[in-house]
Chain A
Amino acid sequence: MGASLGSRYIRITGLCGHTYLLFHGRRHMNRSGWKSFGILLLAGTAALAVGLLYSKGSADSAAQDRQPIPFSHKFHAGQLKLDCLFCHRSAHQSPTAGVPSLKLCLGCHQNMDAEKAGIQTLLAHWNEQRPVSWVRLQRLPDFVYFTHERHLAHGLQCATCHGQVEHMSGTPRAATLEMGWCLSCHQQRGASQDCLTCHK
């Protein structure tokens, strides 16, 4: 293996007789050089963005809570001190916690805060008998079996996984909801760690 100096290149002859040329010198980059530099920079930025999202947990955890009606957990659960299960009624009897029906909202809002814009939208939905398309923020993959009912029956609090929603105006995902996060709790509490307990 030998190396010889050219004008702008270092020529390296490899063991197998191949010749490698390494760019050497202070010559300015030509147009194609800038082009490839730009492409590399773009690809790098994209990779960085994806990586950052991934490191924050699932890609959608950073998603803003943009609901069709500006609902606030901070107000309902914080100031009014409503119990989570008052609205999310199926949490203690079924796998899904459920979103309250319009009827439940109307139970209070029929005669309350009707002048507010959000409540007017709510009442419009009720009058037209059209459900509100709430944006779902907490979602598990299709291959995961999870049941709220069993977790509540074993004494877990809603806030353990969903965070202190009474202090949040929106409802961002409080935990990653990833497998490592599930397992850390299952390990601590001596719950089943068999794959088929949660994978279906």
Chain B
Amino acid sequence: MSADQEKTPEARPHRWQMVIDLDRCTGCEACVVACHAENNIRISGAQEAAEGRAINWIRIERYWEGEYPDVKAKFMPVLCQQCADAPCEPVCPVYASYHTPEGLNAQVYNRCIGVRYCGNNCPYTARQFNWFDPHWDPPLQEQLNPDVTVRQNGIMEKCTFCVQRIRQGKEQAEREGRPVRDGDITPACVQSCPTTALVFGDGNDPASQVAQMSKSRRGFHLLESLGTHPAITYLKRLDE
């Protein structure tokens, strides 16, 4: 147990973490759609996607295994790993990418000047650059989330673990005079997952589901050898 985990719920800082159970992921991409809707991610279209300029904060990586006709499709949701030692953070010349006290790799959009060094330094290609002004095919522009900035042309954007929902959950807890409970805060991708492959919570709360699951023997981190210490733990498939 870490030093933070031993503190009382009131004194303990949050450390937001996620567990992704690959054995449960069916590759349905509900998380991708939910993320687009929640975070005002612009619609790119086939042309921009072909040019590698589409924006997705979460993507489903697809791997084919075996030889025809005995092939299997394996899926892996990849989003910002919210690294504890993030390669994207120290390279920003204007401190637009920084580490929050709660362990998020944040991007302050109005500070960003679009040098794209952070995106190039991210081993998970989790950061994306806005090459164009944002646009939505009607009537999608009517459903923009007022709690999230619409990012303009020329800046970098990334997954925030739905920080607007974290803020909301903390405010509600403060209003009710209690600490944040496990399960109070669910990012859009976690909420929409039909197989509950994604679990989110406070890693500093030893009783939380995410803290329990990340201790699993199946757990591993993406590109662990790089030493980025991600906040996302993947659980290996059972059939491996």
In this complex, how many residues of chain B approach chain A with their Cβ under 8 Å: the count is 20
B171–A147 contact, CB under 8 A?
yes
For the complex, would chain B's binding face be called helix, strand, loop or mixed by DSSP majority?
loop
Residues 186-200 (chain A) with a chain B CB within 8 angstroms? 194-197, 199-200
B218 at the binding interface (Cβ < 8 Å): no
Whole-angstrom distance from the CB of A96 to the nearest CB of chain B? Answer: 10
Which of under 10, 10 to 19, 20 to 34, or 35 or more describes the interface residues of A? 10 to 19
Residues of B contacting A142 in the complex (Cβ-Cβ under 8 angstroms)? 149-150
Residues 155-200 (chain A) with a chain B CB within 8 angstroms? 194-197, 199-200
Q: Select which of B109, B164, B174, B175 is within 8 A of A145 by beta carbon.
A: B164
Residues of B contacting A147 in the complex (Cβ-Cβ under 8 angstroms)? 171
B108 at the binding interface (Cβ < 8 Å): yes
Q: How many A-B residue pairs have CB under 8 A?
A: 38
A199–B147 contact, CB under 8 A?
no
Residues 136-153 (chain B) with a chain A CB within 8 angstroms? 147-150
B76 at the binding interface (Cβ < 8 Å): no
A150–B171 contact, CB under 8 A?
yes
Q: Known interface pairs A153-B175, A200-B148. Does A143 touch B109 (Cβ–Cβ under 8 Å)?
A: yes
A2 at the binding interface (Cβ < 8 Å): no
Interface stretch, picked from B61-69, B97-105, B190-198, B222-230, is B97-105
A195–B100 contact, CB under 8 A?
yes
Bound: A53/B101 CA distance, A: 36
B12 at the binding interface (Cβ < 8 Å): no
B147–A145 contact, CB under 8 A?
yes
B163 at the binding interface (Cβ < 8 Å): yes
Bound: A197/B106 CA distance, A: 11
B171–A196 contact, CB under 8 A?
no
B110 at the binding interface (Cβ < 8 Å): yes
Bound: A199/B100 CA distance, A: 12
Residues of B contacting A200 in the complex (Cβ-Cβ under 8 angstroms)? 147-149, 163-164
Residues of A contacting B109 in the complex (Cβ-Cβ under 8 angstroms)? 143, 199
A141 at the binding interface (Cβ < 8 Å): yes
Q: Known interface pairs A141-B110, A143-B109, A143-B110. Does A196 touch B149 (Cβ–Cβ under 8 Å)?
A: no
Q: Select which of A141, A153, A199 is within 8 A of B108 by beta carbon.
A: A199
B150–A145 contact, CB under 8 A?
no
Bound: A147/B164 CA distance, A: 12
Residues of A contacting B175 in the complex (Cβ-Cβ under 8 angstroms)? 153
Bound: A153/B171 CA distance, A: 11
Whole-angstrom distance from the CB of B172 to the nearest CB of chain A? Answer: 11
Bound: A153/B160 CA distance, A: 27
Bound: A200/B164 CA distance, A: 7
Whole-angstrom distance from the CB of A136 to the nearest CB of chain B? Answer: 15
Whole-angstrom distance from the CB of B176 to the nearest CB of chain A? Answer: 12
B135 at the binding interface (Cβ < 8 Å): no
A196–B104 contact, CB under 8 A?
yes
Residues of A contacting B171 in the complex (Cβ-Cβ under 8 angstroms)? 147, 150
- Chain B residues close to A by CB (< 8 Å): 98, 100-102, 104, 106, 108-110, 147-150, 160, 163-164, 167, 171, 174-175
Interchain residue pairs with CB less than 8 A apart (10): A147-B171, A195-B98, A195-B108, A196-B108, A199-B108, A199-B109, A199-B110, A200-B148, A200-B149, A200-B163
- Chain A residues close to B by CB (< 8 Å): 141-143, 145, 147, 150, 153, 194-197, 199-200
